[in-house]
Amino acid sequence: MYPKPRAMQLAKAAKAVVPAIAVDVADVNALKTAPIVAITPDEKEIWLADAANSRVHVFDATVMPPRQVASIALRDQPGWVTFSLDGRHGYPSTGEVIDTATRKVVATLTDEEGRAVQSEKLLEIVFADGKPVRVSDQFGVGRKR
């Protein structure tokens, strides 16, 4: 539940490591309005959307300060990144689907004409017996309990 002290700590650590990309985050509500910082559901990684370079930078959040471990090229300038509920996929707003384990683009979103699709809106719903039992949102703020 909010506020999430670990998420706030990681976001602040990201700012310290990459001040030109990350934003100042005072609380989780501020993090929601600062979409360039995302925290994986297990809170082990920080993903920073770098619009200027059309990339997502991945940082190991299990060490302090967080250490950059990857940089993933995207097809356009990301303004947002979030994750599947199980943490297996990352979704930048540019329309790629990224395997979080390999940090490779495994799919790109397209419309029925094959044109690239982009969106900052993502909603994942898990159903059991025809009823929703778990719902995600577009905010990558970690989901560790």
Residue ranges per domain, the chain? 5-135
pLDDT at 71 over 50: yes
pLDDT at 39 over 70: yes
pLDDT at 55 over 80: yes
Place of tokens 């970690």: 142
Q: What is the pLDDT of residues 78-129, one digit of tens each?
A: 988 989 989 999 999 999 999 999 999 999 999 999 999 998 777 788 899 9
What's the pLDDT score for residue 114?
94
Give the confidence band of 13 by pLDDT, cuts at 50, 70, 90: low
In this structure, what token pair is assigned to residue 48?
């920073």
Q: Using CA atoms, how far apart are residues 126 and 131, in angstroms rounded to an integer?
A: 8
Q: List, in order, residues 6 or more apart from 142 with CB less than 8 Å away.
A: 4, 6, 7, 10, 39, 40, 41, 42, 43
Q: List, in order, residues 6 or more apart from 44 with CB less than 8 Å away.
A: 60, 61, 62
Give the confidence band of 14 by pLDDT, cuts at 50, 70, 90: low
Q: What is the mean pLDDT of the chain?
A: 80
CB atoms within 10 A of CB 99: 13
